Amino acid sequence: MFDKTFIKNKKMKESSKRWLIRQMKDPYVALAKKNGYRSRAAFKLLEINDKFKILEKNRIVIDLGSTPGGWSQIASSKCKKVIAVDLLPMDMISNVDFIMGNFLDESTIEYIKHQLNATKSNVILSDMAPSTCGIKSVDHVRIMTLIEEVFEFSKDFLEEGGDMVVKVFQGGTENSLLNELKKYFKKINHFKPKSSRKESVEMYLVARGFTPQT
């Protein structure tokens, strides 16, 4: 999959070499290629779904931060419809309506509303993560802000009884945000898939049973 001679390139940065070596040794990278998945992240969603059963054939999914499309591939194979959003371009996937843009922008929101056609989604997925700087306190604030933005978005676009999955960092969710989420969802779980690298600080918050507040 990777040409090992690249690693001997003296002009290549050490960080890039480490990334290549990690990719070469990662069984999920090879397995993703074998199964035709666009990224190894597809296995994370498969594990989440195996445990929580969030993807069903009659459900509509919004995939935030979708590129390159690993999660959209899985969702589109199991659900009625997928609307995918990302700041970067994404190649077409069958049964997926994609828009390139910020999910908070009004133009993107209007596109999603048009695709939903006066309905709402049953599942909102977010494998997004902010750029990290290595300072835990700063990185924590950034991921919490992103989760809050996805949560606010979900309030407008989730059907009653719907589910939300968002990436978090180890240590889980702040108590204040967790308490707010509990007002809107019947069940909250933190879950780290086996396909998530052991050294990674990522895990996922799975919020089930959305209950709109009046």
Location of structure tokens 């999603």:
112
Active site residue 167: yes
* Tokens encoding 70: 């690993």
Cβ proximity of 123 and 61 under 8 Å: yes
The active-site residue, picked from 10, 78, 167, 192, is 167
* Tokens encoding 152: 């606010």
**Angle at 138 (CA atoms; ends 196, 29), nearest 5 degrees:** 20
* Helix and strand element counts for the chain (H, E): 7, 7
Closest CA to 198 of 170, 177, 172: 170
How many other CB atoms are there within 10 angstroms of residue 15's CB atom? 8
Spatial distance between the Cα atoms of 33 and 139, rounded to a whole number of angstroms: 31
Closest CA to 35 of 21, 46, 23: 46
Spatial distance between the Cα atoms of 100 and 77, rounded to a whole number of angstroms: 21
Cβ proximity of 79 and 61 under 8 Å: yes
Spatial distance between the Cα atoms of 15 and 48, rounded to a whole number of angstroms: 30
Q: Please give the positions annotated as active site.
A: 167
